């Protein structure tokens, strides 16, 4: 099989820089793709954190004026990735959050900053770096949305392009007067092009001009063609339905491995689930809950946002209490929800830690009985994949990747011995809590669900195979 060369373009990649799930995907896929015969170079903005991490950087291309200043492409290894960093100090030599200034607002020149990333990606796609001409340019989210656009309007032979949407809620919307500044032809403006309700959307640019569109679960791929989930892009996605597909995310099964996890008090596997009891007790103590092995312990590990349905959960706290259940919440996000969650703390029954805490997230998954995910929409969701791996039964709303990764414990699935969790529609959250507690009280059924979940393949192997097949289909 011929080795494929891929240029992955994104604004973040773990471990170099991460603000969300996007970084997990762009950071993990290259290694998994290597096993599928796809060699990946990852193009990132030359933020300070990225440049500092580059080992033995070499300048492989220079340009005197990239949207108002000189720039070069630095090649090197960083964080286990083969990186091409766009070193453009006038755009990227800013520390802190990659999108926001110190005042917490978007940098005023974000359109230009990410157009620059995409412009250089397109140029690399066209072969400006000696010895590297990618077969496919794979752009992630709006920050890389213009890569396919520039390639579409370029003369001559170009690589195939793939646009992946990690969350349609971020359109990368800017004022229409920027068209010329971004180097886009007049022909690109209009409903058939980058125009989005009178503005320019860099995400739409990618969705219009990429050869293929993917998103991070099959169900989300179907949902986003409907007005309820389409965020204004559903018409376009219906028109392009033939090139839209969903490929699930995976998780790093070395980092998330309960048999070998240094962040939890008691390591375990599917064969000795009894050891989870020590983790449950540790979690109860940590969260100020009564240390009671019999109480069903629900956990939430989440951004606290409207998307994640945290307000819906708050409304169901009496239902949890009615069933003698406990709740442990780890999350941060919208100030109002943080305050409401903190205000809901009830010693012995409801505990809450408001921050991002990777280590505590491991203890939550290892010690809680069930992980509650009442999302209104969920492109893929990673937290339920971690839960499956840790014998923590996911209780999830039936949307997006949650629908694709959890097998509901309905009568048929229980009798066939394949159930891994509970699914609900949002208006049934209370009933789902009741149903989960009933399942929990049936020890035989519950441990079968835990064991089934732990057997599920949540690694990157399957997704990498699917991406490799997609690339090969494009290249021929
Ligand atoms: P999203 O990317 O929409 O926030 P995902 O479920 O796809 O949601 O990915 C978020 C990841 O970050 C999950 O693995 C989740 O467990 C983790 N996470 C979310 N909030 C926290 C937190 N406060 N502390 C630790 N991990 C968190």
Whole-number percent of the chain with pLDDT over 70: 100
Q: Could you identify the atom of ligand 1 that is nearest to the CA of residue 385?
A: 14
Q: Could you identify the atom of ligand 1 that is nearest to the CA of residue 303?
A: 20
Q: Which of 12, 21, 167, 377 to mutate to test ligand 1, by most ligand atoms within 8 A of the CB atom?
A: 21
3-state secondary structure of 312: helix
Decide whether any atom of ligand 1 lies within 6 Å of the 263 Cβ. Answer: no
3-state secondary structure of 5: strand
Decide whether any atom of ligand 1 lies within 6 Å of the 309 Cβ. Answer: no
CA 303 to centroid of ligand 1, rounded, Å: 6
Inter-residue contact 297 to 288 (CB < 8 Å): no
Say how many Å lie between the first and final Cα of the chain, rounded: 12
Tell me the per-residue pLDDT of 84-131, one tens digit each, with 9 for 90 and over.
Answer: 999 999 999 998 899 999 998 999 999 999 999 999 999 999 999 999
3-state secondary structure of 64: coil
Inter-residue contact 329 to 341 (CB < 8 Å): yes
- Cβ neighbours of residue 256 under 8 Å, at least 6 residues apart? 362, 365, 385, 386, 389, 390, 458
What per-residue string of b and e applies to 179-191 under the rule 16 or more CB within 10 Å gives b? beebbbeeebeee
Q: What is the DSSP string of 416-463?
A: HT---BEEE-GGGHHHHHHHHHHHHHSHHHHHHHHHHHHHS--SSHHH
Full-model pTM: 0.95
What crossing angle do the helices spanning 110-125 and 202-209 adopt, rounded to 10°?
30
> CA–CA separation, 213 vs 278, rounded Å?
45
- Whether the predicted pLDDT of 476 surpasses 90: no
pLDDT for the residue numbered 124: 98
Tell me the per-residue pLDDT of 349-395, one tens digit each, with 9 for 90 and over.
Answer: 999 999 999 999 999 999 999 999 999 999 999 999 999 999 999 99
Burial environment of residue 91 by CB neighbours within 10 A (0 to 12, 13 to 18, 19 or more): buried
pLDDT for the residue numbered 2: 85
Decide whether any atom of ligand 1 lies within 6 Å of the 382 Cβ. Answer: yes
């Amino acid at each position: 099989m011929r080795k494929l060369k891929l240029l992955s373009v994104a604004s973040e990649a773990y471990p170099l820089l991460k603000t969300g799930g996007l970084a997990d995907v762009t950071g993990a896929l290259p290694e998994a793709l290597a096993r599928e015969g796809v060699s990946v170079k990852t193009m990132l903005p030359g933020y300070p954190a990225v440049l500092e991490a580059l080992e033995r950087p070499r300048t492989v291309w220079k340009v005197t004026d990239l949207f108002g200043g000189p720039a070069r492409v630095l090649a090197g290894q960083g964080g286990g990735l083969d990186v091409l960093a766009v070193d453009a100090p006038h755009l990227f030599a800013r520390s802190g959050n990659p999108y926001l200034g110190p005042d917490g607002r978007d940098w005023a020149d974000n359109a230009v900053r990410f157009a620059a990333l995409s412009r250089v990606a397109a140029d690399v796609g066209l072969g400006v770096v000696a010895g590297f001409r990618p077969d496919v340019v794979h752009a992630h989210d709006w920050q890389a949305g213009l890569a396919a656009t520039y390639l579409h309007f370029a003369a001559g032979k170009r690589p195939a392009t793939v646009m992946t949407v990690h969350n349609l809620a971020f359109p990368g919307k800017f004022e229409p007067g920027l068209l010329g500044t971004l180097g886009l032809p007049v022909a690109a403006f209009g409903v058939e092009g980058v125009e989005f309700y009178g503005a320019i959307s860099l995400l739409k640019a990618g969705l219009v001009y990429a050869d293929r569109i993917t998103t991070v679960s099959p169900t989300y791929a179907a949902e986003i063609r409907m007005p309820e989930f389409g965020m204004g892009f559903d018409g376009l996605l219906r028109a392009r339905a033939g090139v839209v597909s969903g490929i699930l995310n995976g998780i790093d099964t070395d980092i998330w491995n309960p048999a070998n996890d240094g962040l939890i008090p008691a390591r375990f596997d599917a064969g000795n689930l009894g050891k989870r009891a020590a983790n449950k007790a540790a979690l109860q103590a940590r969260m100020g809950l009564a240390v009671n092995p019999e109480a069903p312990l629900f956990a939430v590990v989440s951004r606290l946002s409207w998307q994640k349905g945290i307000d819906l959960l708050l409304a169901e706290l009496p239902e949890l209490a009615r069933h003698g259940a406990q709740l442990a919440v780890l999350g941060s996000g919208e100030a109002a929800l943080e305050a409401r969650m903190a205000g809901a703390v009830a010693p012995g029954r409801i505990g809450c830690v408001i921050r991002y805490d990777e280590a505590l997230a491991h203890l939550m998954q290892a010690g809680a009985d069930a992980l509650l995910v009442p999302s209104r929409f969920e492109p893929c969701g990673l937290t339920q994949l971690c839960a499956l791996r840790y014998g923590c039964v996911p209780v999830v709303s039936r949307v997006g990747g949650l629908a694709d990764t959890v097998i509901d414990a309905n009568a048929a699935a229980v009798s066939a011995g394949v159930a891994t969790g509970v699914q609900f529609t949002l208006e049934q959250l209370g009933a789902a809590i009741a149903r989960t507690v009933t399942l929990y009280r049936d020890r035989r059924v519950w441990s079968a669900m835990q064991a089934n979940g732990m057997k599920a393949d949540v690694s990157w192997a399957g997704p990498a195979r699917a991406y490799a097949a997609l690339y090969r289909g494009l290249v021929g």
